[in-house]
Structure 1
Amino acid sequence: MRLFALMIAACTALLAAPLAADPNDIQAASRSVVRVVLVAEEGGETFYVGHGSGFAVAPDKIVTNAHLVAPMREDSTIRIGIIPSEGSTTYGGKIVALSVRNDLALIEVDKGRLPSLALIASPLEDGAQVMAIGYPAAVDRAQGLDARETVAPMAPVKTPGVISGGRTTRDFDTILHTAALAKGNSGGPLVDLCGRVAGVNSFGSLSDGNDAEYGFAVSNRELFGFLRSAKVDYRLADAPCRSVAELSAEERARSAEAAEAARARLLADRVERRDLEENALRDAEHAIIAARENHIAFVALMLVLAGIAGGATFVLHERGDLEKRRIAAGIGGALVLAAALGLAMRPGFNQAEDIAIAALKSTATKDETAQRSADGLYICNIVPDRSRIIGASPQPVELGWTSDGCVNDRTQYGRDADGWTRVFVPNEDQTVSINRFNPDTSEFRTENFQLGLAAMQSARKIRGRYSNNACTTDPDAMADLEDMQKALRQALPAQPNEVLVYSCNAKAPAAK
């Protein structure tokens, strides 16, 4: 009766909260899931012993179940094969850690590198939606695959379900869930809708009458301790799972508010500009009036002095002092000429507009200088409410910025409508990143796209067309960068798996 009630509750949860997993996230998580195959040799021939599932917690470390590799303890000829979900390469492996008590095993991959999954820091709540990912043998049989065909890379099977509660089973913590499991799923991950590991699928259970099936996964509480003991540096996801659609809707609303604020600022700037122009013109007119008055005063002074010189000339003429009379007459003439020049050089009111424009240009130059002062070193901190974080909360980013788009004195960004952008394509990891910095808002943004092998190879081929990796202002090099980034964006999925938004502040210079 109790089991029947549990089944009804699980079904009710499914109906009340339909699955809304993002296919991109589940597909990305699937690339970290492998088929773990056991084979033995006898008389020069290789025999298929069995298989299960596993997933990468580090590029060369695979987690699976201890019961899956148990036959190796009895037969030393049995070897491990690691079959990834894509590509054409398979790997050997060896057990480096084993815990029979909580059914966990750690395999080290020989000469291979796989994308790793993040582990959820906190247990999921009852009713949370999950996916089991693995290689159930029943599907292989239904497809008519023989043993040789099952050791070729192929995509794992994904089955949805919900968390039905935590259980302590066989002296270790497990998670009870409704995602369908079959033989071969052992060791595969149980993930949330963001593709992060909640537990390691271990075994299934059929209710009385075989009318309902439940799965059990070893909880992350057990997995954390096991990996720490094995000294594995795993990725810990400590942020809630948010959908890209939810985040995008919030960003659209935010952008609409920002656009409205920008329009309001534009109107205010226009009013301020008009006021500045009117004030500049008025100030210019006042300056011209003052200058004209100064010129009139100068002319008046020169004429007064010229009159005095004229009087002196007359007196000297009466006295018969011709030498001094000529000097006085010359001084008087010069003063009259200065008065005439002063009158002629009075500024006209038609010059007011030119004076106002020059004043406004001086103000604009000061604004440009202030804008250039935005160059420098920034410390950018993550804004969790605006981000979709798949792994651990990112550390602060140090960003050395110059107005021509050079970052950290080595990486050239290209200019676009939203600021300055650079697309990064790594040589080994399967994640393409788009970094964007907007110096006007001091916002730094990273979008991470987790891609498959074929998509990564295509991205690397596109990246190879651009040879100049240093900072540059050469128009041809900038045009090549723009073409490359357009081509890369067209090759990426419609939406990223991870969105990281940072708020940046100028870093104060170190004290001398």
Structure 2
Amino acid sequence: DEVAAFLRAAQQPMPANGVTCTTIAERLAQDRNEAERARAAEEALARESAARAAADRDKALEQARSDNIVTRENYMAGATLLLVLGALALGVAGLFLTRTQKREAIWTASGGILLIVAAVVTFVMRPAFDPAAIAGTTRLTVPPPTAQPGGLGKMVCTIDPARSRVTVSSTQDVTIDINPDGCVNGRTQYAETGQNWQRILVPDEEQTVSVLEYAPTTRTYSTSRYLLTAQQMEAARARRAEVKVKACSTDPAARADLAAKQQAIRTALPPVFNERLVYSCKPAG
């Protein structure tokens, strides 16, 4: 405040962004708190998923047990019917034999024996209940984050002061247009980082590296800037020269190569940023 008053009194221009001053330590602490809240939400989601999976498993076991009982009863009914038919066939064969119809008696007796054997096989082949087979079909799954509707396409992004650390950059709205392949504004290819899209800019005329990232699931756009020494910039530019993707690409292999090259650039950056701008985005129009 004293510096601002001095500059105003001296009628010197002073850029201002209207965002509350935040130290890096404060910003990192807030990021950790947000990460803790996100982790707690994920753990709660995992517990809910586990409870649903357990309930689904119990329901599946009960249904499978009922189905198994019905199936076994059907097998037993079939075996009983075959046994009765076999016994009747043997009785008829005996009747043929008393009438000296030996040929008919043999054929009828053979059929009766086959029916009795089929009855025994049917009875033995009754399906047993196997809980392990049911458990294998009800694995615990934690659904991935659900993308907000309209997470891709042309977006208007507004600065979120509570999640940003602004030093010298403008906080005006930013417009981006991103397609499902990570092409931004029709000319810049971003690389996949999990469910997000990221691009690292290493300019020739500045001593600052910018990491741009867009998260479609939360419609969050961020710019993290790192102020580097001349030696660090030289190392970053050398690694940037290895990036072959200069324009948008639909080739997954090219995007994977871009992601690998950008990861190499990340290793040349300090562990802590100097400025971070976080934007909340919504569909344009």
The reply to whether TM is greater than 0.5 is yes
- 1:419 Cα offset (Å): 5.2
Tell me, in whole angstroms, the C-alpha distance in 2 between the residues paired with 1:297 and 1:280: 25
Counterparts in 2 of 1:353 and 1:284: CA distance versus 1, 3 Å: farther
Q: Could you list the per-position Cα deviations for residues 34-60 of structure 1 after superposition, in whole angstroms to 9, with x for gaps in the alignment? A: xxxxxxxxxxxxxxxxxxxxxxxxxxx
Q: Does 1:501 align with 2:279?
A: yes
> One-letter code of the match for 1:465?
E
- 1:390 Cα offset (Å): 1.7
Q: Could you list the per-position Cα deviations for residues 3-45 of structure 1 after superposition, in whole angstroms to 9, with x for gaps in the alignment? A: xxxxxxxxxxxxxxx46xxxxxxxxxxxxxxxxxxxxxxxxxx
Partner of 1:316: 96
Counterparts in 2 of 1:453 and 1:326: CA distance versus 1, 3 Å: same
- 1:301 Cα offset (Å): 1.7
Matches within 5 A, 1:24-63: none
Q: 2:50 aligns with which of 258, 270, 274?
A: 270
Q: Does 1:162 align with 2:8?
A: no
Q: Does 1:433 align with 2:205?
A: no
Q: Could you list the per-position Cα deviations for residues 173-196 of structure 1 after superposition, in whole angstroms to 9, with x for gaps in the alignment? A: xxx9224x7xxxxxx73222x4xx
Query: Could you say which structure has the greater relative contact order, defined with CA pairs below 8 angstroms and 6 or more residues apart?
Result: 2
Tell me, in whole angstroms, the C-alpha distance in 2 between the residues paired with 1:332 and 1:161: 108
Counterparts in 2 of 1:344 and 1:256: CA distance versus 1, 3 Å: same
> What secondary structure is seen at the aligned counterpart in 2 of 1:360?
coil
> One-letter code of the match for 2:209?
V
Q: Could you list the per-position Cα deviations for residues 218-265 of structure 1 after superposition, in whole angstroms to 9, with x for gaps in the alignment? A: xxxxxxxxxxxxxxxxxxxxxx42434476555444333322222222
Matches within 5 A, 1:67-146: none
Contact 2:64–2:134 under 8 Å retained in 1: yes
TM value normalised by structure 1: 0.43
Counterparts in 2 of 1:460 and 1:253: CA distance versus 1, 3 Å: same
- 1:499 Cα offset (Å): 0.9
Partner of 1:352: 131
Partner of 2:152: 378
Contact 1:305–1:335 under 8 Å retained in 2: yes
Q: Does 1:243 align with 2:17?
A: no
TM value normalised by structure 2: 0.71
The unaligned stretches of length 5 or more in structure 2 are none
Partner of 1:333: 113
> One-letter code of the match for 2:39?
A
The Cα RMSD (Å) is 4.2
Tell me, in whole angstroms, the C-alpha distance in 2 between the residues paired with 1:383 and 1:475: 28
> What secondary structure is seen at the aligned counterpart in 1 of 2:82?
helix
> One-letter code of the match for 2:238?
K
Normalized per residue, the structure richer in strand is 1
Partner of 2:241: 464
Q: Could you list the per-position Cα deviations for residues 196-225 of structure 1 after superposition, in whole angstroms to 9, with x for gaps in the alignment? A: xxxxxxxxxxxxxxxxxxxxxxxxxxxxxx
The unaligned stretches of length 5 or more in structure 1 are 1-17, 20-159, 164-175, 182-187, 195-239, 508-512
Tell me, in whole angstroms, the C-alpha distance in 2 between the residues paired with 1:161 and 1:292: 87
- 1:393 Cα offset (Å): 0.9
Tell me, in whole angstroms, the C-alpha distance in 2 between the residues paired with 1:259 and 1:373: 18
> What secondary structure is seen at the aligned counterpart in 1 of 2:5?
strand
Contact 2:89–2:109 under 8 Å retained in 1: yes
Counterparts in 2 of 1:249 and 1:360: CA distance versus 1, 3 Å: same
Q: Could you list the per-position Cα deviations for residues 455-509 of structure 1 after superposition, in whole angstroms to 9, with x for gaps in the alignment? A: 655532231234456554599947843641332433x8x334341333578x9xx
Q: Could you list the per-position Cα deviations for residues 71-102 of structure 1 after superposition, in whole angstroms to 9, with x for gaps in the alignment? A: xxxxxxxxxxxxxxxxxxxxxxxxxxxxxxxx
Tell me, in whole angstroms, the C-alpha distance in 1 between the residues paired with 2:64 and 2:135: 6
> What secondary structure is seen at the aligned counterpart in 2 of 1:392?
coil
- 1:295 Cα offset (Å): 1.4
Bigger shift: residues 427-436 or 266-275: 427-436
> One-letter code of the match for 1:413?
A
Tell me, in whole angstroms, the C-alpha distance in 1 between the residues paired with 2:46 and 2:172: 40
> One-letter code of the match for 1:407?
G
Counterparts in 2 of 1:384 and 1:477: CA distance versus 1, 3 Å: closer
Q: Which has the larger radius of gyration?
A: 1
> What secondary structure is seen at the aligned counterpart in 2 of 1:342?
helix
Would you identify which runs of 4 or more consecutive aligned residues in structure 1 move more than 6 Å?
Answer: 370-374
Taking only the aligned residue pairs, the percentage that are identical comes to 21
Tell me, in whole angstroms, the C-alpha distance in 1 between the residues paired with 2:58 and 2:255: 40
- 1:281 Cα offset (Å): 3.0
Counterparts in 2 of 1:378 and 1:483: CA distance versus 1, 3 Å: closer
Q: Does 1:282 align with 2:62?
A: yes
Bigger shift: residues 334-343 or 466-475: 466-475
> One-letter code of the match for 1:355?
I
| Alignment size in residue pairs | 268
Tell me, in whole angstroms, the C-alpha distance in 2 between the residues paired with 1:473 and 1:271: 39
> What secondary structure is seen at the aligned counterpart in 1 of 2:75?
helix
